[in-house]
Structure 1
């Protein structure tokens, strides 16, 4: 198996650094307005604007994928509502983040951005964000993560029989499906009129896609009510036993690129797209390609915007192309605190350990080569491929990976249902712009 501890540390670093990009302000600022009331809490307009700008920065290279500003604000506001609800539920469940834990996390964010605590405080203040608001935002993010972990431990179980069945399906040559969806949500106990409106909207979105006026992913970003809307509705790879029965027979007759729906489900009307298929036995092969690589990371944060990060990574890439040693440049300039001291060394890992984009870039160069700058959720990277190898996972590791895959899929499905329940039970009133209507769910 890959160095999972290292991978988890990198993920934690990304999570903590990302808190700079989305602030959940807790104190009223002059002229600040309330964007939404969530039970006994509020979301300020300044919070919404910061969160929207963070999404815009993530799509800096694909601005055409984003919906109109009003639609994007609605989607981001819904995400902020869910954050508030999860933080409240975490507090009700006894989940606490101590001041000592918070102080350690703040120090880690400062270190990852190459600055002292005083420098971080001053930079945040210069950007109009108080240090107390930043700490509150980070505490909320940590609370949500702990709520999700607690949920997984109490609600998600994977039996040995499920692992056996999944491995047998791989060995038997079953097919796996890469899916994407668009959800037009319906409230619980929807009236006939609401059902009709929802179906009409789903049919309208389908028509836009079929006429070639909009790509499926762009339509998902703009119109889907699913939590993964801003990811283009991507559902990832699933085997038949992980797909609702209503879709199974349809998928068997579909070709990659085709779309079906709208189909009525528990949450509303769905459009489903088959992106691609693969042989499960091949996907679960014991032989796996691993890479040994080093990287240099320049983060995109509230402190350092996308343009500045891109300019900096371009400069570092030019230095290496001019003969500078990659290891020394990484030690000097990388913003990944976990690997910087080792010259950016990430050790051995499978191609998809840090996301598909990372693996694709590694595949594009030879051993010893350095990639062109590329963007991930963490920021801008350049990567030096040191070596490759084929690794036999072995049956024990294969079972562990399968158990992890099944558990991750179950957690995703169960937690999304949990979030829908939270949202449906909450009192939410939008007050920003043209969203003055009462949108309470309970």
Structure 2
């Protein structure tokens, strides 16, 4: 699942501006010159530019999002499409976000203030800031702190919605993993990709397909004529990552659909594919860079533990004292670890085995145990340390280097199949949601002439 993005100007592109209580309906075409969107509101500072089901998008929201994108590309303004196309691209992203938030609410998916606080803290940490410093940076960029928190909340909601949509739809069997690894088309290695996606309507006909193909060919012609691929993505792509220049980041080749992987495999870094037909439309892929996997050798630890847990009859203080007594017996050679573990340990998975935890990678048992391993020598017993489960006394029995390449390859293949299925399932969900939604774009200039849904909204089904 995708994590909260590091704070950047682009993150503000989906910020919801504080709605005006007196927002007015926008009539027909308005002259340019009204803020970043070029839309002027008659007799009002703010007005509605689009209705999405029972929600609205205000001109102030659209202006703020366009300004954020424009600021992000301040050093490379030539990568941005003409203002009218940029406004359509940004509006479409806002519509998609509104729909996802509404779907999450319909499914009773919620985020708590604690969830938002933790996500904000993560953003601050990733940017090497305190939360107060992050708040200052946000307000300095002209955004409200409440609006920034709302954007984080919306991102968390869409993440949970994604999990909900794919949870029951995506399963991966051992047979699928075996088939992928045995397939002659299986390709190891990783690729850094960018893409342009020209979608066709969910129930589109031959005319829609021809129109999308023509748009894809126009994008390819511009790229061949020297237009930067990322700029072309911003202008032509209707994928959610278009405003990121279509950057897909690093992906394992086995995560890329086989037909596309074959096309990418024949490219050199910097080259792009022709328009590739997929189930949802046409795709143009650019190979940015490649890298090959190496053997994966990890350190594994063999240890055993005794867990003393507080309970209704054992206070936390008594649990700590009991753990300390056990440590003293072990270090003074007055007790046997195996017997003490069987008699006293409250860990159901290891107690009957004399506390034996088997061989494991460092983080397998959690951060507290991982931290203790760093300070132990072979056969050394740790002082009692506290975890969420209780007080633990642990002995490190040994370490070894293990080649986990094959195991890792199977895990990666399983994950690749799961990610591919999840991406397809969620993309289908979004396309269906968009096609069924009532979306009324009130400004003719903001309607995409190629988008029938924008030109002729369909009333929401009951």
> TM tier, shorter chain?
0.5 to 0.7
CA–CA distance in 2 between the matches of 1:237 and 1:13? Answer: 18
- Residue from 52, 67, 82 that aligns with 2:96: 82
CA root-mean-square deviation: 4.3
Deviations 1:261-296 (A, max 9, x none): 334433223334455556xxx4253259xxxxxxxx
Shift of 1:422: 1.4
Does the 8 Å contact 1:34/1:432 carry over to 2?
Answer: no
- Does the 8 A contact of 2:264 with 2:285 survive in 1? no
Count of residues paired in the alignment = 328
More helix by share: 1
Cα deviation, 1:181-203, whole Å, max 9, x if unaligned, reads 32222223334443333332222
Are 1:435 and 2:454 an aligned pair?
no
Q: Deviations over 1:118-163 (max 9, x none)?
A: x959984x87655654444333222122212323433332333344
Alignment of 1:29-68 (within 5 A): 31-68=45-82
Give the SS at the match of 1:283: coil
Aligned to 2:274, the other structure's residue is in SS state: strand
Which residue number corresponds to residue 293 of structure 2?
A: 283
TM-superposed deviation, 1:223:
0.9
Quote the offset at 1:38 in angstroms.
0.7
Deviates more, 1:140-149 or 1:264-273: 264-273
Listed as ranges, the matches of 1:373-388 within 5 Å are none
Q: Does 1:114 align with 2:114?
A: no
CA gap 1:19/1:172 in 2 versus in 1, 3 angstroms: closer
Relative to structure 1, the CA distance from residue 394 to residue 28 in structure 2 (aligned partners, 3 Å threshold; closer, same or farther) is: same
After superposition, where does 1:356-435 map in structure 2 within 5 Å?
A: 393=404, 395-432=406-443, 434-435=445-446
Confirm or deny that 1:183 pairs with 2:194. no
Paired residues of 1:260 and 1:271 also in contact (CA < 8 A): yes
The 1:133/1:206 distance shift into structure 2, 3 A limit, reads closer
Residue 25 of structure 2 is aligned to residue 25 of structure 1: no
1:131–1:204 CA distance, 2 compared to 1 (3 A): closer
For residues 173 and 187 of structure 1, the distance between their equivalents in structure 2, rounded to whole angstroms, comes to: 32
Match of 1:144 among 138, 158, 172: 158
Alpha-carbon distance in 2 for matches of 1:249, 1:195: 23
Distance 2:233 2:141 in 1: 32
Report deviation, 1:85.
0.6
CA distance in 1, matches of 2:97, 2:64: 15
**For the residues of structure 2 that align with 1:407 and 1:284, how far apart are their CA atoms?**
23
Per the alignment, in what secondary structure is the counterpart of residue 156 of structure 1?
Answer: coil
User: Is 1:265 matched with 2:278?
Assistant: yes
Residues 114, 275 of structure 1: alpha-carbon distance in 2 compared, 3 angstrom cutoff: closer
Q: Structure 1 residues 173 and 116 mapped into 2: Cα distance closer, same or farther (>3 Å)?
A: closer
SS at match of 2:455: coil
Distance 1:141 1:213, change over 3 A: same
Structure 1 residue 60 displacement after superposition: 4.0
1:231 paired residue number = 244
Structure 1 residues 15 and 408, CA gap change in structure 2 (3 angstroms):
farther
Partner of 2:371: none
Q: Is the 8 A contact 2:111 2:153 kept in 1?
A: yes
Task: Output the CA distance in 2 between the equivalents of 1:53 and 1:395.
Answer: 48
8 Å CA contact retained: 2:202, 2:431: no
- Counterpart Cα distance in 2 of 1:423 and 1:77: 13
Unmatched segments (≥5 aa) in structure 1? 1-6, 289-347, 350-389
The 2-side partners of 1:170 and 1:285 are apart by: 21
Q: What whole-Å deviation, never above 9, does each CA across 1:39-92 have from its counterpart, x for those lacking one? A: 111111211222223333433444333223322222121111111111111111
Rate the CA distance shift 1:395–1:191 in 2: closer, same or farther, 3 A.
Answer: closer
CA distance in 1, matches of 2:9, 2:71: 15
TM-score (norm 2): 0.57
C-alpha separation between the residues in 2 aligned to 1:403 and 1:163? 6
Q: Describe the shift of the 1:406–1:17 C-alpha distance in structure 2 as closer, same or farther (beyond 3 A).
A: farther
CA distance in 2, matches of 1:229, 1:405: 23
